[in-house]
């Protein structure tokens, strides 16, 4: 554990060794994380009395800069540095999502949040169907039909507040009702938990957001099973956090984009401005309210009841929709079966199910008629 040995361990991660599964160079963030872990280990080993080891002279001057690949350097030659999903892609994700996935999709997008923020949200952080008590001071119109989320950024404890879209509120109400059915509910209960009551975001774990990553990968796998979406882009779950901030920055400026992601100092020109004036949350709420129309195509992609568990499907959702479209065009069953690559009984079953769901429900004196 002399200087050369320490330098060799750091250099191993600086050069970004290949990933075990893909063979591609490990990510830059992953390499930086390992180098940071090594430095913390060296500090601990130097301070503890359990071992007779001290830091070699000059260890702090070892180069820790992680190298870039040629592909990463090429990507910098573009005005677009952040990949985000389009509204059309979000609509596809929404169409295939389960209720819990839809809840995270809506809140993550509406409030520019990633796993660390979503996983720490509490039931009491939501203010539903209530007029903002400071609407006049913040210079925006509010009524009892409005809902808000208020929370503190996990690491910096910076306050953030977001107006919630009606579709987001619907999923939050479903999430709160789900949470009430799970044990250990209190005023500070974490909203996103497993059926046993364990938080999805595992504090203290080496990978606390793995549950969110698995959920997102599962959703993308379900989308890619569709023939027409086999090449659907696989972007990380944190893309949701970037999406709103990116749009707000281009449409409403840097100040609101910074406020949207709950950064500490939103106006670099005057670091003391927060000591004298309130932050412009009213303008942020106006911007989020205006962007609801921009994201409307995504909400249209949800089923009629977005909180209902998805039905078990033996054929893909896209094939079902194609069969229903051909049925509406009065194409013969034999022709539909041939074009969609299914047997006739499948077409008959989808037709009968669609007709059953389309029948109106008649009631008389509070009782259902047969």
> The domain spanning residue 163 has which CATH number?
1.10.443.10
Asked if the structure places residue 307 within a domain, the reply is: no
Q: What is the mean pLDDT of the chain?
A: 86
| Rounded distance between C-alpha atoms, residue 111 and residue 288, angstroms | 9
Asked if the structure places residue 310 within a domain, the reply is: no
Regarding whether 221 and 183 lie in a shared domain, the answer is yes
Which position has the higher pLDDT, 262 or 106? 106
Q: Is the pTM of this model over 0.85?
A: no
So what's the pLDDT on residue 5?
95
Asked if the structure places residue 144 within a domain, the reply is: yes
Regarding whether 97 and 236 lie in a shared domain, the answer is yes
Q: DSSP for 85-133?
A: --HHHHHHHHHH--HHHHHHHHHHHHTT--HHHHTT-BGGGEE-S---T
Which position has the higher pLDDT, 185 or 353? 353
Regarding whether 130 and 59 lie in a shared domain, the answer is no
pLDDT digit string, tens, across residues 323-345: 888 888 888 888 888 787 777 77
Number of folded domains in the chain?
3
Asked if the structure places residue 213 within a domain, the reply is: yes
Regarding whether 212 and 94 lie in a shared domain, the answer is yes
Element (H, E) at 173: helix 166-180
| Rounded distance between C-alpha atoms, residue 254 and residue 242, angstroms | 13
Regarding whether 333 and 207 lie in a shared domain, the answer is no
Q: What is the mean pLDDT of residues 348-367?
A: 62
Domain span including residue 336: 317-368
Tell me the range of 6-15, 21-30, 174-183 where mean pLDDT is highest: 6-15
Regarding whether 342 and 296 lie in a shared domain, the answer is no
Regarding whether 339 and 248 lie in a shared domain, the answer is no
| Rounded distance between C-alpha atoms, residue 171 and residue 59, angstroms | 52
**Helices 99-110/239-252 angle, 10° precision:** 30
pLDDT band at 29 (very low <50, low <70, confident <90, very high): confident
pLDDT digit string, tens, across residues 41-80: 999 999 999 999 999 999 999 999 998 888 777 766 665 6
So what's the pLDDT on residue 368?
44
pLDDT digit string, tens, across residues 254-292: 889 999 998 766 555 556 666 667 889 999 999 999 999
Domain with residue 354: its CATH number is 1.10.10
Q: How many C-beta atoms lie closer than 10 Å to residue 101's C-beta?
A: 18
């Amino acid at each position: 554990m002399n200087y050369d040995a320490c330098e060799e361990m750091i250099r191993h991660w600086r050069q970004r060794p290949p990933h075990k599964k893909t063979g591609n160079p490990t990510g830059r963030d992953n390499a930086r994380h390992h180098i940071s872990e090594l430095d913390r280990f060296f500090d601990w080993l130097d301070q503890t009395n359990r071992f007779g080891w001290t830091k070699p002279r000059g260890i702090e001057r070892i180069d820790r800069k992680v190298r870039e690949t040629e592909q990463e350097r090429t990507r910098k030659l573009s005005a677009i540095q952040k990949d985000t999903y389009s509204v059309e892609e979000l609509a596809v994700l929404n169409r295939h999502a389960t209720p819990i996935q839809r809840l995270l999709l809506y809140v993550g997008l509406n409030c520019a949040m990633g796993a660390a923020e979503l996983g720490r949200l509490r039931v009491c952080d939501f203010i539903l169907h209530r007029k903002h008590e400071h609407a006049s001071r913040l210079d925006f119109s509010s009524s009892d039909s409005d809902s808000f989320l208020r929370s503190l950024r996990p690491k910096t404890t910076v306050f953030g507040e977001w107006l919630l879209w009606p579709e987001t509120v619907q999923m939050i109400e479903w999430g709160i009702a789900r949470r009430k059915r799970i044990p250990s509910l209190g005023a500070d209960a974490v909203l996103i938990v497993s059926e046993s009551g364990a938080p999805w975001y595992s504090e203290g774990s080496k990978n606390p957001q793995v549950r969110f990553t698995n959920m997102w990968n599962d959703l993308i796998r379900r989308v890619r099973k569709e023939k027409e979406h086999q090449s659907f882009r696989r972007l990380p779950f944190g893309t949701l956090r970037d999406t709103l901030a990116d749009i707000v920055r281009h449409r409403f400026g840097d100040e609101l984009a910074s406020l949207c992601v709950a950064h500490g100092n939103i106006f670099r020109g005057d670091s003391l401005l927060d000591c004298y004036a309130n932050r412009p949350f009213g303008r942020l709420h106006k911007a989020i309210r205006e962007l609801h129309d921009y994201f409307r195509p995504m909400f249209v992609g949800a089923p009629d009841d977005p909180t209902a568990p998805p039905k078990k499907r033996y054929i893909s959702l896209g094939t079902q929709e194609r069969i229903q479209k051909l049925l509406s065009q009065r194409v013969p069953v034999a022709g539909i079966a041939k074009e969609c690559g299914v047997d006739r009984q499948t077409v008959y079953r989808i037709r009968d199910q669609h007709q059953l769901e389309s029948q109106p429900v008649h009631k008389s004196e509070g009782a259902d008629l047969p």
